[in-house]
């Protein structure tokens, strides 16, 4: 059984780093510095905050999937919906290749390896 504290520590480190990033975003885009009539600072803050959250979420998912692999289990034995994350790159490749016949065939071939 893998050491759970290692995974929790990894997530805590990522959370602290992301919190610092959010603080830096707040500092750089605070409205009391320069007038922003077009609201660019607010829009940029929203985009950066979303990217920050999405990055943290992805780090947590990666840590969880590594935990499952280190534990020796299969994702499908834990929760089928986690397969969405496991197949993300394959889905993106399929989409990028316009769901062509070759892309679909390659997707199905890759299922066996997964």
Our measurement of the distance from residue 105's CA atom to the centroid of its chain's CA atoms, rounded to an integer in Å, reads 27
Each residue's pLDDT tens digit, 20-29: 999 999 888 8
Note the pLDDT tens digit of each residue in 73-107: 666 676 776 667 777 778 888 888 888 888 888 88
Contact 45, 91 (CB under 8 A): no
Average pLDDT, integer, range 12-40: 86
In whole angstroms, give the CA distance from residue 59 to residue 107: 25
Q: What is the mean pLDDT of residues 10-18?
A: 95
In whole numbers, what is the pLDDT of the chain averaged over residues? 83
């Amino acid at each position: 059984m893998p050491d759970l504290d290692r995974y929790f520590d990894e997530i805590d480190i990522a959370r602290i780093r992301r919190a610092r990033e959010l603080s830096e975003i707040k500092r750089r885009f605070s409205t009391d510095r320069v007038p922003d009539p077009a609201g660019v600072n607010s829009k940029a803050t929203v985009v950066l905050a979303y990217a920050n959250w999405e990055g943290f979420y992805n780090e947590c998912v990666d840590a969880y999937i590594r935990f499952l692999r280190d534990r020796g289990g299969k994702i499908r034995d834990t929760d089928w919906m986690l397969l969405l994350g496991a197949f993300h790159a394959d889905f993106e490749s399929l989409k990028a290749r316009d769901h062509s016949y070759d892309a679909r065939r390659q997707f199905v071939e890759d299922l066996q390896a997964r």
